[in-house]
Amino acid sequence: MKIKEYRIQFIEALASIYGEGEAESFFYLILEEKQQLKRIDLALHPDLFFSEDEITVWNSILEQLKLEIPIQYLLGKTSFYGLDFEVNENVLIPRPETEELVDWIVFNIRKSERSKNLKILDIGTGSGCIAISLAKNFPNAQIFAIDVSEKALSTAKKNAERNEVEVAFISQNILETLDLGQEFDIIVSNPPYVRNLEKEEIKKNVLDNEPHLALFVEDDDALIFYRKIAELAQKNLSNSGQLYFEINQYLGKEMIDLLEGMDFKNIELRKDIYGNERMVLGEPK
């Protein structure tokens, strides 16, 4: 079958679930990954075709997409902050708002001209996207990353190798940690923050496939991770250090109250490109 003919069938099969635009984007992502072909190749060579074996592979992916399994998991990778990352069912798929958090940190480090001899800690690293992106941008910094999931850490270590950076990965339950044992210039975390009451807002493909350990917190203590990490930051941030969080968009005021109540200063709440309150920065007094 000609690829251009299969393309029409593929998009029609997924359009009712994802919309035509996203279904078409899926087609070209798979085309590049599985056939090493780009959109321009199909335009220049309209007679290109799939073999029967190739159609079998594509149909398998199509059926999984109908079940709303994330395409990043099906391809086994995603792009984040200009880098390629392996992703699987053990780690969250990195989001654009997390890229914005990384970009904020990168901007502030460069503005302060403090890129040498920095010690940075990423808590709840998952795929390693934050830690590895910072390591890539600041090769002279010491980067540490903590996660409670051994499977997540295994994926993160592969991603560090994939992107040729050095990160010290640590297996640790941050809620059971009394002291980090050393001082850091920057502590950053994108911890679980989705309340159970917000599950109905989560897309089915996320709810059914991404690790709940990295997503959800109890309704009656939604800031449990933030409170604990802020306590550790009080002990383990340098005098001129900074604490960065990605946060629940509905809890911006609560996050400011939390940090103010724990004597942080220069607190800044920042919105993402969609206008949601997604990031906060605080400094120890």
**Could you tell me the two tokens for 235?**
């002990």
**In the chain, how many domains are there?**
2
User: How many Å apart are CA 34 and CA 53, to the nearest integer?
Assistant: 12
Residues 23 and 146 in one domain: no
User: How many Å apart are CA 82 and CA 99, to the nearest integer?
Assistant: 10
Residue 236 near residue 187 (C-beta atoms within 8 A): yes
Domain assignment of residue 72, yes or no: no
Residue 194 confidence (pLDDT)? 79
User: How many Å apart are CA 193 and CA 235, to the nearest integer?
Assistant: 23
Domain assignment of residue 81, yes or no: no
Domain assignment of residue 83, yes or no: no
Residues 56 and 139 in one domain: no
Domain assignment of residue 148, yes or no: yes
pTM value is 0.90
**pLDDT digits over 113-152, tens only?**
776 789 999 999 999 999 999 999 999 999 999 999 999 9
Q: Identify the domain containing residue 118 by its residue range.
A: 89-284
Q: Which residues contact 172 (CB under 8 A, 6 or more apart)?
A: 146, 147, 148
Domain assignment of residue 182, yes or no: yes
Domain assignment of residue 82, yes or no: no
What is the CATH classification number for the domain harbouring 106?
3.40.50.150
**Could you tell me the two tokens for 244?**
């960065």
**pLDDT digits over 211-261, tens only?**
877 777 887 788 999 999 999 999 999 989 999 999 999 999 999 999 999
Domain assignment of residue 118, yes or no: yes
Look up tokens 């109905």; give the residue: 200
